[in-house]
Structure 1
């Protein structure tokens, strides 16, 4: 087994250990499960969580990969362990994202004739296929989409759904859908808050 062990002061509070334990629990891993999957000893996992050991940069990324930690939270784990973030966010229009944009465009086309949308973490509309565009403009005038439901120059899908002059009057199962969306937004808001604090979200 490969070990990356650096001794730390046992009295030192290490936020990385708290972060690691929460993600491990969230993913349903025991310390032994994580140790086996990460090819380290269970003792090392225990030391990392308690703050008795400080992880190397490679170990942070190895554990985060095994636990399927999202990239944004991986950056927070690195920061908590004393390392610089390595994952950067890019606009889909950036040249470096050309292959990603091509793949997304392909998936949107494949969903036709059914509506498909791409939104950011704030539910701002980034991309839509033709079916989704037709759906939105059938019930909401294009000028109203821009004037009533835009946030930072982007159409906000949640505003468009919940606004009384938006999609809301045309949704048959409104109570069921709105309850589901509100629960989801609530979970995402809690997740965003915990992520900013360096803790894992509940699912």
Structure 2
């Protein structure tokens, strides 16, 4: 597991050793099982590799130690400050869309602007029912499904390729079962290319994703960014993904602001 994560991070044994403050020889012995790490050493290596909390627990488990981080439901009273922070983020992003999803792209929250954006495609509830007839609403499926937002994304090929790259890399690096199941399902959609189904380690995912929406002569040029919590101490918080959409030109910005103004006047 240590070697797999080191490869995923594109680190040599020497680079990992320097980052963790240990000898290259010790890293080599750990990878081949000739040395048994202490609990502190596992945590030290996990931090050097910038592992997500779930994977830190897995690394500890593989070494024979109990997990360090818990996984608390977002509905738990102790998560109140997190929910409040998410509510504020979504509210302040309006009139521009934003969503909160878990690691497997399951939708947890969306702001009013996101609901307005989906409504451009028609009956959003019917679209969700077609895309996710069973299980939670999933943003990844909504984007790639032929009966979801796909017909309205003018640069869908580029968007789909980038999303598949990001998700495949994370799934292969972590072994996360839900991500692999999601990719297996989406890979069967018509138009999803076979080359997108292999992790491409030669290039890194783009920090922003341009998305152009087109419907009945209206064109919106947007770009999206994904934010995460910087210092999480719980797996649930660590796996939250806030995706924020921003206008890529003045016309798109004005359209989104006008949509918000119209909704406010008719409320």
TM-aligned CA distance change 1:38 to 1:163, over 3 Å = closer
Whole-Å Cα distance in 2 between the matches of residues 76 and 155 of structure 1?
27
CA contact (8 A) 2:19 2:48 kept: yes
TM-score by length of 2: 0.58
Whole-Å Cα distance in 1 between the matches of residues 91 and 65 of structure 2?
41
Aligned to 1:30: 12
Aligned to 1:63: 45
For 1:11-90, list aligned pairs within 5 A.
19-90=1-72
Aligned to 2:213: none
For 1:155-174, list aligned pairs within 5 A.
155-174=137-156
Match of 1:130 among 112, 116, 125: 112
Whole-Å Cα distance in 1 between the matches of residues 117 and 2 of structure 2?
43
Whole-Å Cα distance in 2 between the matches of residues 202 and 71 of structure 1?
24
Task: Find out whether 1:120 has 2:120 as its counterpart.
Answer: no
1:48 counterpart SS class: helix
TM-aligned CA distance change 1:30 to 1:168, over 3 Å = closer
Aligned to 2:91: 109
Match of 1:100 among 78, 82, 94: 82
TM-aligned CA distance change 1:143 to 1:161, over 3 Å = same
Runs of 4+ in structure 1 deviating by more than 4 angstroms, as ranges, are none
Q: Give the CA RMSD over aligned residues.
A: 2.6
Tell me the CA shift for residue 107 of structure 1.
2.4
- Indicate the larger mover: 123-132 or 137-146: 137-146
Superimposed CA distance per residue, residues 82-119 of structure 1 (whole angstroms, 9 cap, x where no aligned partner): 11222222222222222222222232233222211112
CA contact (8 A) 2:100 2:107 kept: yes
Whole-Å Cα distance in 1 between the matches of residues 34 and 172 of structure 2?
29
Gaps of 5+ in 2: 178-198, 202-267
TM-aligned CA distance change 1:86 to 1:202, over 3 Å = farther
Q: Which structure features the higher share of strand residues?
A: 2
Whole-Å Cα distance in 2 between the matches of residues 46 and 131 of structure 1?
51
Tell me the CA shift for residue 185 of structure 1.
4.0
Aligned to 1:14: none
Aligned to 2:204: none
TM-score by length of 1: 0.74
Tell me the CA shift for residue 189 of structure 1.
4.2
